[in-house]
Structure 1
Amino acid sequence: MRAQLIPHEGPDADAALTPLKGKADRVLVDAPCSGTGTFRRKPDARYRLTPEDLEMHVGRQKALLARFATLVKPGGRLIYGTCSVLREENENVVEDFLAKHPEFTVKPVAELLGAELAEKVGPGPFLRLAPHTHGTDGFFGAVLVRAK
């Protein structure tokens, strides 16, 4: 296994991505987000989040997901995660991505975690952890598979 941290912005970003296009088995996009999933530990943060901030995060998340999708080889996985509990940053971003990238499909978490564990993280194809249910920060995860 080889892991590589790739810059997503700045002058070196494009140069770092070009030789990796279509070669990755797995790409993790740990997207910058509003951090709403951490509000139980950082309650003051809820008063600093503005609609403009949220819009900026969503735009950045969509751009990062599309950019790093180019690295995934056929049959490979694109994993998207945030520490947000907001649908705008989670399901909506993934749904927008899938509408624009029909070569990707969602891999349901139940297939990856097994039925017993998947039942504990909620219904639907995504991983969703909630502070009041799981005793963790809020978290969202989606696994997207590129067609072979």
Structure 2
Amino acid sequence: MTIDASFLPKLSHEDVSLHLSERHDAEHSPWGALSYRFDIIVAGRRAGTISLRVGTTHLLTHLAGQIGFSVDPTFRGRGLARKAVLALLPAARLHGLRELWLTTTEDNLASRRTLENLGCSFAGRVPVPQNYVSYAQGEREKLRFRLALDGGD
């Protein structure tokens, strides 16, 4: 797969930088939207991943989220997910997004804390449909959060 990152600015915030690892056009993306996956890099080491999904479908705004992140266990507790989201915001703005929708579950306290620290507003709970992949893993409800992209970083 060829990854064209030439149009993306350098994505970093404080001690976190993002390195593009995957890019999928909408027709090849599991979310049906242009998507990017980045490695979260700290001190030259991969600390996790973060994805940006460019679209406003119900799937993205209510279930999957336009941003998804995962921090490897040995790097947790340092606020890296928050920094990675902040590093990703210029790419979201470049794609014309004025707000971002992020989702999590009730029991994911670390994710909820990250969203609160980012200044996201809670937008409610939505049921997980039986045909959605996480339903088979036991998820029955998603919590939705909105992050406004009003200005620069």
Fold match (TM-score > 0.5): no
With normalisation by structure 2, the TM-score equals 0.38
Richer in strand (by share): 2
Richer in helix (by share): 1
With normalisation by structure 1, the TM-score equals 0.38
